[in-house]
Structure 1
């Protein structure tokens, strides 16, 4: 993983998935690069977000996506599969058409190659463009994803509809 360290924290509700994660944990917990913790801990999750340089959310389906928003708030650059709420909140740094809102790395496939492509781009950016990386993480920490902002946007939409129908 190009010198990276990864921590996976989570609990699966499906017994089959839980066994797969346990097998993965047993395979990879021997070395210092990957640590898999099959547990739920709100406190530990916040400490991990605060310590992370990147947050990986490779969801196949994600209606909202809080992990990337929490990660950004703590200063971790998101690497996400472009789906649902992840696609609504993370814009690829290599996409020049959205340069002003670019805040992370995205990929579309559900295969290892697509994920590796996004990780390689993120690691390269981290190593070769440290000043730009710092600018992006500072910008991300200021993004307002709160309900206050969202509620205000809904109010604006309702007002515009009301005006059109009067």
Structure 2
């Protein structure tokens, strides 16, 4: 059984879910609770929210949470690659495909990106189109733009 709790943030209401050991989902809006969710603010969810809040304030650049996204082996490989994209930088779908060992898998990378169950913590917002355009994001293009601008604004704090 998963636990979930909702928070109001500067990018809207966010739901964070965990399975008792790791964060499993982040939702950009309140979901209707179904049988496999308990509404509970656990210690792990509180920590995830604390890190998210500090990220949105520009105070942290990297999350240190246990993550357990559910998906195929290929999806997990893509999601792992996404966690390696440095704060404040972007990659194209093709670059992510290359990092998985299959540079022709750009479409499959796009599908995996679209199915990312833990956006922000797994930074799929850092993946852009080959032409530099912002394409697709589960939270909407406005939130993707907000997150990228937040990181660009705070990148100077890294160096």
**TM-score bucket of the superposed structures, by smaller chain:** under 0.3
Higher helix share: 1
- Higher relative CO (Cα under 8 Å, sequence separation at least 6) belongs to 2
Which is higher, the Rg of structure 1 or of structure 2? 1
Q: TM-score, normalised on structure 2?
A: 0.26
